[in-house]
């Protein structure tokens, strides 16, 4: 079965909605809610990992900060403090009892009216958690995936702001992902409006050549990924030179190594682009070294030198 179809929910568990924990089946909204019609939502994707140190959430503050940043762009005022949202995320993970899970905070314009103007609609908040394992298939992290350059372009500057993680942006991501799937690729690599490298449907792109680590800059219609920032930090820790810059498409066919990174895909090597092998056609040494650091911090016992982990703790009274 393709990796694209293995994400069905179990329908169990508890969802945080506007300050209350409700049963999974009761976490519903009205079909006349603004967000359904006009894509007026922003969200986050976060992971909690199981480790020798217990369950902890990876880079919670950075994700919550980006959620607030996205809200500012869209003039949405979250009716909870930063700390309250962080606490609600921790509490939702704890109450569901998952050792490891994916966390989806969502802020959206709810039920009131369906004029295009979102401002009269309430700002609602939900936090959904579920168990979601390796995004691109179980051997992807080791052996890499095949990617193809998409014929769909990422959002042009000053249209849909790429740095805001808005639900509306994922109409574009969906087109990229469907085309890649139909064409037999695990993922698509999208170009920006000027034909320069941008990112995948839900992950940032990195290229390595002569031990220098490159990634498209934020001016190339990318989401400023938190895993992207993590990789840049870990690469510097490893003594590697990193460059955030405009990158032409042909760099894909000349790179020694390429990988995707994101909360869902973690660090996933790309073994071919447009059926041209990347480097030796398998995971390269820089990608492997970055994975080792990344998974070492979140899953085993490398020191959390950058303060990236928030412990979830046990359920009180459980
Ligand atoms: C379009 C897009 N780019 C990049 C990323 C990676 O971002 P992060 O590392 O914060 O998950 C994501 C995932 O959230 C995404 O949806």
pLDDT digits (tens, 9 = 90+) for 124-176: 999 999 998 777 777 999 999 999 999 999 999 999 999 999 999 999 999 99
Residue 199 and residue 138 in contact, taking contact as beta carbons nearer than 8 Å: no
Ligand 1 centroid to Cα of residue 264, in Å, is: 8
Kindly report the average pLDDT of the chain as a whole number. Answer: 95
Is 165 annotated as catalytic?
yes
For residues 27 and 39, give the distance between their C-alpha atoms in angstroms, rounded to a whole number. 19
Cβ(243)–Cβ(207) below 8 Å: no
- Please say if the pLDDT value at position 182 is more than 60: yes
Give the residue-averaged pLDDT of 101-112: 98
Residue 135 pLDDT: 74
C-beta of 45 in contact with ligand 1 (< 6 A): yes
Query: Coil, helix or strand for 66?
Result: helix
Neighbours of 45 (CB within 10 A): 17
For the chain, percent of residues with pLDDT exceeding 90: 90
pLDDT tens-place string over residues 224-256: 999 999 999 999 999 999 999 999 999 999 999
Residue 318's pLDDT is 44
C-beta of residue 100 within 8 angstroms of C-beta of residue 49: yes
**How far does residue 201's CA lie from ligand 1's centre (Å)?**
8
Mean of pLDDT values over 203-232: 98
Distance (Å, rounded) from C-alpha 254 to C-alpha 258?
10
Confidence of residue 6 (pLDDT cuts 50, 70, 90): low
Across the range 81-94, mean pLDDT stands at 98
Note the pLDDT of residue 235: 98
Q: Could you tell me the distance, in angstroms and rounded to a whole number, from the CA of residue 266 to the centre of ligand 1? A: 10
Q: What is the pLDDT of residue 136?
A: 77
**What pLDDT is attached to residue 299?**
86
User: Is ligand 1 within 6 A of the CB of residue 70?
Assistant: no
Instruction: Point out the ligand 1 atom lying closest to the alpha carbon of residue 62.
Output: 10
Q: Is 172 in the pocket of ligand 1 (CB under 6 A)?
A: no
**Does position 292 have pLDDT exceeding 60, yes or no?**
yes
Ligand 1: centre distance to CA 162 (Å): 10
Cβ of 229 less than 6 Å from ligand 1: no
pLDDT for the residue numbered 316: 53
């Amino acid at each position: 079965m393709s990796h694209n179809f293995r994400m069905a929910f179990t329908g169990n568990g508890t969802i945080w909605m506007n300050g209350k924990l409700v049963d999974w089946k009761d976490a519903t909204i009205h079909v006349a809610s603004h967000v359904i019609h006009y894509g007026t939502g922003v969200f986050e994707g976060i992971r909690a990992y199981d480790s020798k140190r217990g369950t902890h959430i990876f880079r919670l503050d950075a994700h919550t900060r980006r959620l607030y940043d996205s809200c500012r762009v869209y003039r949405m005022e979250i009716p909870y403090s930063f700390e309250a949202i962080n606490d609600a995320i921790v509490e939702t993970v704890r109450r569901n009892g998952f050792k490891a899970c994916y966390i989806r905070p969502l802020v959206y314009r709810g039920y009131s009216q369906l004029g295009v103007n979102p401002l009269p609609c309430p700002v609602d908040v939900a936090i959904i958690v579920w168990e979601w394992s390796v995004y691109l298939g179980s051997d992807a992290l080791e052996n890499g995936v095949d990617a193809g350059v998409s014929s769909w372009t990422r959002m042009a500057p000053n249209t849909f702001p790429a740095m805001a993680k808005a639900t509306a942006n994922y109409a574009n991501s969906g087109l990229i992902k469907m085309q890649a799937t139909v064409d037999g690729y695990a993922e698509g690599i999208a170009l920006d409006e000027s034909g320069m490298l941008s990112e995948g449907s839900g992950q940032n792109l990195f290229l390595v050549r002569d031990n220098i680590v490159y990634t498209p800059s934020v001016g190339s219609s990318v989401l400023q990924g938190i895993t992207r920032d993590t990789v840049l930090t870990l690469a510097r820790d490893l003594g590697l030179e990193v460059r955030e810059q405009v990158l032409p498409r042909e760099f894909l066919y000349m790179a020694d190594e390429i990988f995707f990174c994101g909360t869902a895909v973690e660090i996933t090597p790309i073994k071919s682009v447009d059926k041209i092998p990347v480097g030796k056609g398998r995971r390269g040494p820089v990608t492997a070294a970055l994975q080792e650091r990344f998974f070492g911090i979140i899953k085993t016992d490398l020191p959390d030198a950058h303060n990236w982990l928030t412990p979830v703790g046990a359920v009180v009274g459980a």
